């Protein structure tokens, strides 16, 4: 998360930025022009310390135009002859400088920066020019004075301007892990009569505090710091009228240096549990996406989480800011994404010994577009397809070492059927099983008898992604059974070309089987499944063709049973169909998956 440019440091505030206001404000508050008192020669006794200096309400009528600043009150000082005035001083570069002189026990300082903290003190003077000891110091955030209307948004003519500031943020604390050169913070939300619109984060730099960033959430990561170095922060809340709260209590924390090195001990071999109930979480930062999940557990301790995103056809680990949102919930913020674009994510937990959990379920989240609800560009389709349902495996389809999956068709607002992307869960991530134009897929190359978990996502032409389907676990079918003599080779390396010629209700297919391995194939059986309603019209040519349901096999004839390395055989058939004539998506030769072209 990038840090905002610093603004309004106290030690950069010139005196010329302060505007005098000629008004009598009541309750002893007054402003007076600076005036040099007459200098005596006999009086050398300075005044006493002024009474307690504090920030006081400003009893003036709305619209009196005093701008942005701070109002101050204090108790009167005493002197053996008489106090003639008070110098109001502000701290600049660690040194107090007089910016106001007044004869009363109150003053305002205007022309300040909204929300910026300023430190003041007061010194009494007598007619001889003797200056007494300084009062206590008061640090106060500048705000609107005398009910002056904020510049934006303007108040309704029929409604009074909002002058109530939010409550001060509380509970400022460190609440993240796995950060490098940063301090992750979170705090309890402020309250306001109309609503809190955001928070400003300040960090101590030199002798003063500088605003380093803003956020609409109750969390922020101050980055670009020096690992192992302590820093001090506070947070101010603000509302839509520009009112700012009192600052939170300060937090002093050490910048993190990232995850600890994996433990050299070989004893810990237990991975954390999978992150549970991962859900999208809206964060109002342009180009950012939020995720929330249930905390993983570990026999020792979870040391962090890795977040992966589906980008350009592959899952990649992406930088994420991780926050402990509550006792059992964890929040991640991923930024530098394309605003308005849909992404698939999953999360993996890790421990200090380097053990990784299984991946969470897939979750879809859209990168935020600011302002919320805005389209990336006018006329852009931002409506995703419906969520695929009914994901299941068919036991009636023979897929040695694989599964035949199908699911319900989904629709899209464009009227164009979406494509489907199928994902298989692995030990620590997801494998992409391919794109499908129809709601079915054959997954091969699996270990017979083993369980595998899948999820499917629909994708429209604009790139909008559906919610992932519910996870489905299927058992891969046993490997290929033995074939009639001569026994075909089981280690074939092959490539299949399927070239259909289609007309209304009928089609012809030319199939080429190429041996891409280094040994001869002595006897072969090609198998595939029709994804639609297709039926072979016997007998076909150059092979013995059979069809059971959607499953098709083509066995060699005596004259073409041997395919030498680098050579091919050409076979084919005629068929019929109704509706569509989609191409089969997977082919096996003697039970081994072939590539397609």
Same domain membership, residue 467 and residue 561: no
**Residue where a domain stops, chosen among 424, 447, 475:** 475
Q: For residue 27, what is the DSSP state? A: T
5 has a pLDDT exceeding 50 = no
pLDDT digits (tens, 9 = 90+) for 222-254: 888 888 888 999 999 988 888 888 888 989 988
Average pLDDT in the 570-585 region? Answer: 87
Same domain membership, residue 132 and residue 17: yes
Among 103-112, 156-165, 399-408, 527-536, which is the least confidently predicted range? 156-165
Confidence band, pLDDT 50/70/90 cuts, at residue 121 = very high
336 has a pLDDT exceeding 60 = yes
Residue owning tokens 């394309």: 338
Average pLDDT in the 28-33 region? Answer: 32
Calculate the CA 25 to chain-centre distance. Answer: 49
pLDDT at 448: 85
Same domain membership, residue 200 and residue 140: no
Q: Which residues contact 241 (CB under 8 A, 6 or more apart)?
A: 150, 153, 155, 161, 162, 163, 194
pLDDT at 379: 64
pLDDT at 369: 82
Element (H, E) at 77: none
Distance separating alpha carbons of residues 471 and 465, to the nearest angstrom: 16
pLDDT at 583: 86
Same domain membership, residue 301 and residue 179: no
> Is the CB of residue 217 less than 8 Å from the CB of residue 283?
yes
> Is the CB of residue 22 less than 8 Å from the CB of residue 31?
yes
The pLDDT > 70 percentage for the chain reads 81
pLDDT at 228: 83
**Residue of 9 and 145 predicted with greater confidence:** 145
Residue 525 C-beta-side C-alpha neighbours within 13 Å: 19
Same domain membership, residue 139 and residue 34: yes
- Note whether residue 551 is domain-resident: yes
- Note whether residue 422 is domain-resident: yes
pLDDT digits (tens, 9 = 90+) for 413-426: 888 888 999 999 99
Average pLDDT in the 45-57 region? Answer: 86
Among 392-401, 497-506, 583-592, which is the least confidently predicted range? 392-401
pLDDT digits (tens, 9 = 90+) for 191-218: 998 888 888 899 888 777 888 888 877 8
Confidence band, pLDDT 50/70/90 cuts, at residue 438 = confident
CB burial of residue 474 (10 Å; 0-12, 13-18, 19+): buried
> Is the CB of residue 216 less than 8 Å from the CB of residue 198?
yes
- Note whether residue 30 is domain-resident: yes
Q: Provide the b/e sequence for 83-115 (b: ≥16 CB within 10 Å).
A: bbbbbbbbbbeeebebbbbbebbbbbbbbbbbb
pLDDT at 397: 67
Whichever domain contains 513, its CATH number is 2.60.40.290
pLDDT at 155: 39
- Note whether residue 264 is domain-resident: no
Average pLDDT in the 262-287 region? Answer: 78
User: How many independent structural domains does the chain possess?
Assistant: 5
pLDDT at 266: 54
pLDDT at 65: 56
In Å, what is the CA distance from 483 to each residue of 394, 396, 556, 591?
23, 20, 12, 10
Average pLDDT in the 82-92 region? Answer: 91
pLDDT at 396: 65
Same domain membership, residue 581 and residue 525: yes
Whichever domain contains 236, its CATH number is 2.60.40.10
- Note whether residue 268 is domain-resident: no
278 has a pLDDT exceeding 60 = yes
Sign of CA dihedral 442, 447, 450, 454: negative
pLDDT at 325: 66
pLDDT at 39: 46
Element (H, E) at 452: strand 451-459
Do the bridges between strand 521-522 and strand 342-351 make them parallel or antiparallel, or are there none, so unpaired?
unpaired
Nearest to 411 by CA among 448, 445, 460: 460
∠ Cα 251 221 333 (to 5°):
140
The pLDDT > 90 percentage for the chain reads 24
∠ Cα 546 549 553 (to 5°):
30
**Residue where a domain stops, chosen among 325, 348, 366:** 366
Sign of CA dihedral 204, 205, 209, 210: negative
Token pair listed for 152:
């934006």
Do the bridges between strand 392-393 and strand 403-406 make them parallel or antiparallel, or are there none, so unpaired?
antiparallel
- Note whether residue 373 is domain-resident: no
pLDDT at 462: 86
pLDDT at 421: 92
- Average pLDDT, rounded, for the chain: 79
Nearest to 324 by CA among 175, 221, 173: 175
Same domain membership, residue 100 and residue 131: yes
Same domain membership, residue 214 and residue 105: no
Same domain membership, residue 446 and residue 336: no
Same domain membership, residue 406 and residue 361: no
DSSP 151-202: SSSPPPTTSPPP-PPPPPPEEEEE-EES-EEEEEEEEEPP--SS-EEEEEEE
Domain containing 345 equals 276-366
Same domain membership, residue 35 and residue 139: yes
- Note whether residue 427 is domain-resident: yes
Same domain membership, residue 138 and residue 17: yes
- Note whether residue 186 is domain-resident: yes
In Å, what is the CA distance from 512 to each residue of 389, 503, 594?
36, 21, 12
Determine if the pTM surpasses 0.85: no
Confidence band, pLDDT 50/70/90 cuts, at residue 41 = low
Residue 515 C-beta-side C-alpha neighbours within 13 Å: 23
């Amino acid at each position: 998360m990038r840090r905002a440019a610093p603004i309004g440091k106290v030690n950069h505030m010139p005196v010329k930025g302060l505007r005098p206001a000629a008004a009598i404000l009541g309750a002893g508050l007054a402003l007076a022009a600076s005036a040099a008192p007459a200098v005596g020669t006999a009086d050398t006794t300075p005044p006493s310390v002024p009474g307690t200096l504090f920030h006081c309400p400003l009893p003036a009528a709305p619209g009196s135009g005093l701008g942005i600043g701070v109002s101050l009150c204090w108790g009167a000082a005493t002197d053996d002859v008489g106090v003639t005035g008070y110098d109001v001083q502000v701290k600049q570069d660690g040194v107090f400088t007089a910016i106001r002189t007044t004869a009363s026990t109150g003053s305002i300082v205007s022309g300040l920066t909204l929300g910026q903290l300023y430190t003041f003190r007061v010194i009494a003077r007598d007619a001889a020019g003797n200056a007494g000891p300084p009062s206590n110091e008061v640090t106060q955030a500048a705000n609107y004075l005398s009910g002056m209307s904020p510049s934006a948004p303007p108040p309704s003519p029929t409604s009074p301007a909002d002058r109530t500031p939010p409550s001060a943020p509380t509970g400022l604390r460190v609440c993240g892990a796995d950060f490098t050169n940063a301090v992750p913070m979170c705090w309890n939300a402020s309250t306001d009569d109309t609503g809190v619109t955001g928070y400003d984060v300040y960090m101590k730099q030199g002798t003063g505090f500088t605003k380093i960033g803003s956020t609409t959430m109750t969390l922020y990561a101050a980055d670009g710091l020096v690992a192992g170095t302590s820093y001090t922060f506070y947070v101010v809340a603000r509302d839509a009228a520009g009112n700012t709260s009192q600052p939170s209590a300060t937090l002093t924390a050490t910048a993190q240096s990232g995850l600890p090195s994996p433990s050299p001990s070989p004893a810990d071999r237990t991975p954390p549990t999978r992150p549970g109930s991962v859900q999208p979480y809206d964060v109002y930062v342009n180009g950012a996406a939020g995720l929330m999940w249930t905390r993983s557990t570990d026999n020792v301790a979870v040391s962090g989480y890795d977040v992966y995103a589906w980008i350009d056809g592959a899952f990649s680990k992406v930088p994420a800011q991780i926050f402990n949102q509550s006792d059992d919930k964890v929040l991640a913020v991923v930024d530098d994404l394309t605003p308005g674009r849909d992404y698939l994510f999953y999360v993996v937990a890790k421990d200090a010994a380097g053990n990784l959990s299984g991946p969470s379920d897939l979750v879809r989240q859209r990168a935020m577009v600011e302002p919320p609800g805005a389209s990336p560009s006018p006329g852009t389709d931002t409506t995703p397809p419906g969520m695929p349902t009914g994901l299941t495996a068919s036991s009636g389809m023979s897929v040695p070492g694989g599964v035949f999956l199908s699911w319900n068709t989904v629709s899209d607002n464009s009227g164009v059927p979406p494509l489907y992307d199928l994902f298989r869960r692995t030990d620590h991530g997801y494998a992409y099983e391919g794109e499908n134009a129809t709601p079915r897929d054959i997954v091969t190359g699996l270990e017979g008898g083993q369980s595998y978990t899948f999820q499917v996502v629909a994708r429209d032409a604009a790139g909008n992604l559906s919610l992932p389907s519910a996870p489905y676990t299927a058992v891969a079918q046993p490997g290929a059974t033995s074939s009639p003599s001569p026994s075909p080779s089981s280690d074939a390396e092959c490539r299949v070309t399927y070239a259909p010629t289609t007309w209304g209700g009928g089609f012809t297919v030319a199939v080429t089987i190429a041996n891409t391995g280094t040994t001869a194939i002595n006897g072969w059986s090609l198998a595939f499944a029709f994804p639609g309603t297709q039926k072979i019209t016997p007998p076909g040519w150059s092979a013995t063709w059979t069809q059971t349901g959607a499953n098709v096999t083509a066995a060699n004839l005596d004259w073409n049973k041997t395919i030498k390395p680098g050579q091919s055989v050409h076979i084919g058939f005629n068929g019929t169909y109704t509706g569509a004539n989609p191409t089969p998506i997977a082919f096996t030769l003697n039970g081994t998956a072939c590539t397609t072209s």
